[in-house]
Structure 1
Amino acid sequence: MNYISPNWNTSVLITIDTQNDFTLPNAPAQIKGTIEVLPKMRSLLEKYREKGLPIVHVIRLYKEDGSNVDICRKKMVEEGAKFVAPNSDGAELVSEIRPLNYNSLDADKLLNGEFQSIGENEWVMYKSRWGAFYKTDLEGFLKQRNIDTIVFTGCNFPNCPRTSIYEASERDFRVVMVADSMSQVYEKGIQEMKNIGVYVCNLNDVMSSLK
């Protein structure tokens, strides 16, 4: 039996941290390369919307007092650095990946661990650390919807996407990494993902599989 090949019809598309403050030129915490992959991310999102398949946007929110910030950035935020602050424009999803009729994020709801609906079969959720499964309800949310395959795109592979991929693998999800639709990807990382059974592909592979 093949345990690792994607089941596209029972998959979810996840975007990671594709927010204004991490993406836009000259943003306070810009991750280089993210803006360049937005057109491919948008194509994936449009295909998932067309197919009626679920989408989850995973985001960060940093309270300005630093109380929920990971320790590697806590001092910086406590001393006045401001990015992805709750209810700020910098925390919003970049315009290229938003669905039609997008409403601003509800920081209180997200910080409370709730999933905010932003479109048909499309949600936003907050994570407090690198991994999307760390102290969140993501696993239960997906399993309630009979999702067994997670397709990852988004911002800054070495940190949050990679951690989330390992967490998904630990929970026996089938995992897809869309390498050309994710920033800061490097060859050694691709090999490491393949070594744990991740299906590494490009946008065209996904589009062909979803026809």
Structure 2
Amino acid sequence: MEAYVYGVKRSLPAGFEDYFDRSATAIVSIDMHEGHLADSPDCPCPAPRAREIVAPINAFHRSARVLGVPIIHVRSVLRKSGVDDLNGIPSAWRATFPLYVGPISGADAHAIEGSRWTNFVTEVAEGDEIVETKKRLSAFYPTDLDFLLRNMRVTTLVLNGGFTDCCVLNTAFDASNRTYRVIVARDLARGTNEEMEDAALKMISLHLGLVMDSADILQAWSQRQSSPARMIE
């Protein structure tokens, strides 16, 4: 088994076996919906780099389902009244992120319930779970994700989605603080830019869990069955 430690791929020593127990693992896919991924000028919070991982995430999820690993899709959803954000206490990113990227013309529509922006772009299969009360950066806040995971007897999370340096990083911190084992699929997460993505993955690798390629995660899971797993296209 191999993982990235501060950006360098290394063989893992003994002691990480519990990270790869499929029976106690779930994949948490974060914010892969149109509010980030739509290729249109009115996209409320564009994450164009994440569009390239839609197909790879779908392929990884298909392979995981075959192995019996459950998928949990998390999306941001805000009340139509705006009380969760703009008409309550606005999210910090609304003030700070535009300082870097410039004005975001459709930002007021971000994650509004019932809008197209909350539609998933990645595949959601029968049997997958959905968590849709995420209103800030972490998939745990203020959602029922922890309740769901504990009822599923899950102790290890494999994270993918976006942004690596924002929602994925925040979720990894919250998961680790709740004593979950954390794995981030390096090739299935995208950040604000390559520099920020790299920094987030390095922090995760030192303090929160494992950073691995998705093919290596599948291979580690496959070692618990007779024939190797393969990515399903």
TM-score by length of 2: 0.73
List alignment gaps of at least 5 residues for structure 1.
100-118
Helix, strand or coil for the counterpart of 1:176? strand
Does residue 36 in structure 1 map to residue 49 in structure 2? Answer: no
- 8 Å contact kept, 2:181–2:209: yes
Q: Where in structure 2 are the equivalents of 1:88-167 lying within 5 Å?
A: 88-94=115-121, 96-99=122-125, 119-167=126-174
State how many pairs are aligned. Answer: 190
What do residues 76-123 of structure 1 show as CA deviations (whole Å, max 9, x unaligned)?
99x9821322111221111x3222xxxxxxxxxxxxxxxxxxx21433
Partner of residue 60, structure 1: 76
Partner of residue 67, structure 2: 51
Partner of residue 203, structure 2: 192
Partner of residue 113, structure 2: 86
Helix, strand or coil for the counterpart of 2:48? coil
- 8 Å contact kept, 2:77–2:111: yes
In the alignment, the residues of structure 2 paired with residue 51 and residue 7 of structure 1 have an alpha-carbon distance, to the nearest angstrom, of 11
Identity %, equivalent residues: 19
RMSD: 2.5
Partner of residue 71, structure 1: 91
Kindly tell me: are residues 137 and 83 of structure 1, through their superposed partners in 2, closer, same or farther at Cα, counting changes over 3 Å? closer
Does residue 183 in structure 1 map to residue 190 in structure 2? Answer: yes
In the alignment, the residues of structure 1 paired with residue 21 and residue 52 of structure 2 have an alpha-carbon distance, to the nearest angstrom, of 28
Helix, strand or coil for the counterpart of 2:29? strand
List alignment gaps of at least 5 residues for structure 2.
1-13, 96-102, 223-233
In the alignment, the residues of structure 1 paired with residue 80 and residue 153 of structure 2 have an alpha-carbon distance, to the nearest angstrom, of 37
- 8 Å contact kept, 1:66–1:74: no
